[in-house]
């Protein structure tokens, strides 16, 4: 028999009767236009963010679907060069800040323009890059140029 997480849950859980407030707590909040697929990176707002951030990496040809983007990054043969490290940082930071923006809009009724969010993502990724120890290479020099950094003695510095 094949393993199934759903079946394991059904086998292990205690089936108690429903309480009157269950629908207040358990609801499908990701239905409709706020689905993960839509949010990462199908809606016009997040497409704008993803376009902006892809230009800062070698991800220009990566899909607008997050699952495809993750798969394409994971399938790259070399994972530890500066280009791939930056790709991963950009993807993670983009998802984080887009989710944060979603929460701001829903919970705080605040919005940021796409260029503001891109600036926040770039700032965050740039800070992470400053902590990297890197060897000089063509790929590294391309990233230095795109991110307005300089390289000296295996370290990156802000300009």
Rounded CA-CA distance 50/86 in Å is 14
Say if 103 falls within a structural domain. Answer: yes
Say if 148 falls within a structural domain. Answer: no
pTM for the predicted model, two decimal places:
0.73
Say if 137 falls within a structural domain. Answer: no
Q: Is the pLDDT of residue 17 over 50?
A: yes
Q: Is the pLDDT of residue 30 over 50?
A: no
Closest CA to 146 of 72, 87, 96: 87
Which residues constitute the domain of residue 66? 34-132
Taking all residues of the chain, what is their mean pLDDT, rounded to a whole number? 80
What is the 3-class SS of the chain, one letter each residue?
CCCCHHHHHHHHCCCCCCCCCHHHHCCCCCCHHHCHHHHHHHCHHHHHHHHHHHCCCCCCCCCCCHHHHHHHHHCCCCCCCHHHHHHHHHHHHHHHHHHHHHHHHHHHCCCCCHHHHHHHHHHHHHHHHHCCECCCCHHHHHHHHHCCEEEECCEEEEC
Work out how many domains the chain is built from and give that number.
1
CB 121 within 8 A of CB 49: yes
Q: Is the pLDDT of residue 125 over 70?
A: yes
Closest CA to 148 of 139, 158, 134, 133: 158
Say if 60 falls within a structural domain. Answer: yes
Over range 111-125, report the average pLDDT: 93
Say if 19 falls within a structural domain. Answer: no
Rounded to the nearest angstrom, the gap between the alpha carbon of residue 131 and the centroid of all alpha carbons in its chain is: 19
Say if 41 falls within a structural domain. Answer: yes
Say if 2 falls within a structural domain. Answer: no
Say if 15 falls within a structural domain. Answer: no
């Amino acid at each position: 028999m094949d393993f199934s997480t759903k079946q394991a849950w059904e086998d292990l859980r205690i089936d108690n009767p429903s309480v009157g407030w269950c629908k207040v707590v358990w609801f499908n909040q990701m239905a409709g236009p706020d689905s993960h697929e839509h949010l990462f990176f199908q809606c016009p707002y997040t497409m704008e963010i993803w376009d902006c951030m892809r230009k800062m990496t070698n991800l220009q040809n990566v899909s607008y679907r997050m699952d495809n983007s993750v798969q394409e990054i994971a399938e790259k043969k070399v994972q530890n060069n500066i280009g791939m490290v930056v790709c991963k940082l950009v993807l993670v930071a983009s998802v984080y800040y887009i989710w944060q923006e979603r929460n701001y809009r829903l919970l705080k009724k605040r919005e940021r323009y796409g260029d503001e969010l891109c600036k926040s993502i770039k700032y965050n990724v740039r800070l992470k890059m400053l902590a990297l120890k890197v060897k000089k290479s063509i790929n590294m020099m391309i990233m230095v140029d795109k991110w307005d950094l300089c390289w000296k003695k295996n370290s990156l510095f802000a300009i």
